[in-house]
């Protein structure tokens, strides 16, 4: 059992605070992905868990034991680094077995475990090579094997796939998930690639400038982003965002060009409130102008094979639509956009926070309240 409790954790270097008030409960055996842009403090959080950085506020407990003052080796964590961090002068075998050697495991047992671990990641024929003689993917496997062999309670991954080419990245992604399922240790995986995060995670943690923006399953995060920031970060192509003002009736949003979007069925908003409405490209469909809920001007499309990305404009604001229909449209043509009410997101203009959905909408959103609460908490900074 290795659940990780992160309570009110902060990190300061000298006078600069780079992380504050981070609360996160990671369950035993869970695969949690920490997602956020470069520089938002993902690595720092991981290194605080690992014990490579000193915790300056709050506490972290692994398997119920507070580890704030424990050395990395006493925390039972293994880490896979972005640049692999293999020992260049040691063979693959020595690299994988180094932790055991340090721990004083007898040679015979060590060799057997190295062999077994190398087999599980497909490295047996490379055991006598030096890291310099391996390809990027193979080095990555060595780094994984080095972590696996210790049979840790917790796996920590710091952007381990970012140096691989696209195809290998997908392959290693599956490999990591397979290993996680086989080993059953708790995994914390850091990445700035939302695709990686969405596909790997049991739960996603979205970070922004040293605080947690939202925690939830990939589906929750995708369907119910707690803020504009999360909405824009997760999903590809990115969510369409249109600024507007809530009409005096409080039942619709007026866009810049005077179009009204009905929000009655989903949200409660103050009249006159500045808002941003969000619509995912996958949830939009193109119809005739008369049938649409919004009017837009077609510009051009990108062919993806399985689908097309149609690029439109609503009063100079680009709007994307993903559709598998092959439509014959001419540039500048006026079309209508349709979408189900549940696809509509409304965010408060100044704060970017998602507006609470009205209960009348009757959708299942069991975790919605908790995620929103957390994100609000995270934004106290």
Binding track, positions 142-161, relative to another protein; x by CB under 8 A:
----x---x-----------
Segment 138 to 157, residues that bind Mg ion, using CB under 5 A: none
Q: Note whether 179 binds another protein by CB under 8 A.
A: no
| Residues 2-41 as x/- pattern, contact with Mg ion by CB under 5 A | ----------------------------------------
In this complex, which beta carbon is closest to ligand ADP, that of residue 18 or of residue 356? 18
Looking only at the bridges linking them, the beta strands covering 203-208 and 31-35 are parallel
Q: Does 132 bind another protein (CB under 8 A)?
A: yes
CB of 189 to ligand ADP, least distance (A): 12
The shares of helix, strand and coil residues in the chain, as percent rounded to the nearest 5, are 30, 30, 40
The single-letter DSSP state of residue 67 is: -
φ, ψ for residue 285, nearest 5 deg: -135, 150
Q: Is 136 in the site for another protein (CB under 8 A)?
A: no
The encoded tokens of residue 78 equal 């293994």
Write out the two tokens for 127. Answer: 């055991």
Of residues 63, 70, 85, 309, which one binds another protein by CB under 8 A? 85
Q: Which residues pair with 241 in a beta bridge?
A: 278
d(CA 310, CA 49): 44
Give the DSSP letter of residue 380.
T
Rounded to 5 degrees, φ, ψ at 112 are -65, -45
| CB 45, min distance to ligand ADP, A | 7
CB of 43 to Mg ion, least distance (A): 3
Chain-centroid distance of CA 367 in Å reads 17
Nearer to ligand ADP, 230 or 279 (CB): 230
Interaction site with ligand ADP (CB under 6 A): 13, 18, 36, 38-44
Dihedral angle, C-alpha 226, 230, 232, 237, nearest 10 °: -100
Helix (H), strand (E) at residue 172: helix 166-183
Among another protein, ligand ADP, Mg ion, none, residue 13 binds (CB under 5-8 Å by kind): ligand ADP
d(CA 96, CA 73): 16
Indicate whether 106 belongs to the interface with another protein (CB under 8 A): no
Q: Minimum Å distance from CB 173 to another protein?
A: 21
**Distance in Å, CB of 82 to ligand ADP, minimum:** 9
Q: What's the rounded Cα separation, in Å, for the pair 203 and 170?
A: 19
Contact residues for another protein, defined by CB under 8 A = 47, 50-52, 71-73, 77-79, 81-89, 98-99, 102-103, 130-132, 146, 150
């Amino acid at each position: 059992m290795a659940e990780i409790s992160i309570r009110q954790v902060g990190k300061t270097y000298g006078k600069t605070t780079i992380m504050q008030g981070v609360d996160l409960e990671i369950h035993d055996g869970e695969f949690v992905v920490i997602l956020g842009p470069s520089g938002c403090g993902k690595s720092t959080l991981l290194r605080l868990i690992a014990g490579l950085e000193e915790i300056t506020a709050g506490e972290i407990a692994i398997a119920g034991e507070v580890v704030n003052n424990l050395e990395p080796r006493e925390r039972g964590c293994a880490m896979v680094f972005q640049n692999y961090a293999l020992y260049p002068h040691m063979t693959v075998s020595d690299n994988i077995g180094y932790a055991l050697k340090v721990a004083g495991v007898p040679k015979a047992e060590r060799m057997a475990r190295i062999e077994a671990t190398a087999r599980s990641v497909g490295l047996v024929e490379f055991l006598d090579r030096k890291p310099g003689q391996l390809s990027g993917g193979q080095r990555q496997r060595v780094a994984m094997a080095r972590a696996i062999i210790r049979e840790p309670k917790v796996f920590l991954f710091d952007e381990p796939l970012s140096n691989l080419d696209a195809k290998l990245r997908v392959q290693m992604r599956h490999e990591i998930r397979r290993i996680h399922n086989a080993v059953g240790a708790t995994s914390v995986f850091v990445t700035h690639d939302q695709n990686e995060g969405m596909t790997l995670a049991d739960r996603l943690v979205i970070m922004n400038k040293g605080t947690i923006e939202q925690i939830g399953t990939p589906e929750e995060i995708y369907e119910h982003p707690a803020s504009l920031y999360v909405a824009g970060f997760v999903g590809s192509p990115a969510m369409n965002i249109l600024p507007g003002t809530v009409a005096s009736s409080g039942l619709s949003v007026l866009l810049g060009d005077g179009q009204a979007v009905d929000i009655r069925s989903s949200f409660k908003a103050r009249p006159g409130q500045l808002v941003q409405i969000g619509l995912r490209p996958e949830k939009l469909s193109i119809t005739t102008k008369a049938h649409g809920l919004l009017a837009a001007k077609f510009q051009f499309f990108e062919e993806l094979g399985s689908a097309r990305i149609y690029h439109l404009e609503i009063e100079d604001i680009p709007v994307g639509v993903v559709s598998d229909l092959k439509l014959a449209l001419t540039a500048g043509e006026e079309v209508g956009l349709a979408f189900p009410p549940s696809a509509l997101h409304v965010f408060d203009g100044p704060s970017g926070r998602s507006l609470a959905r009205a209960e009348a909408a009757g959708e299942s959103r069991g975790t919605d309240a908790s995620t929103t609460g957390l994100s609000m908490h995270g934004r106290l900074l």
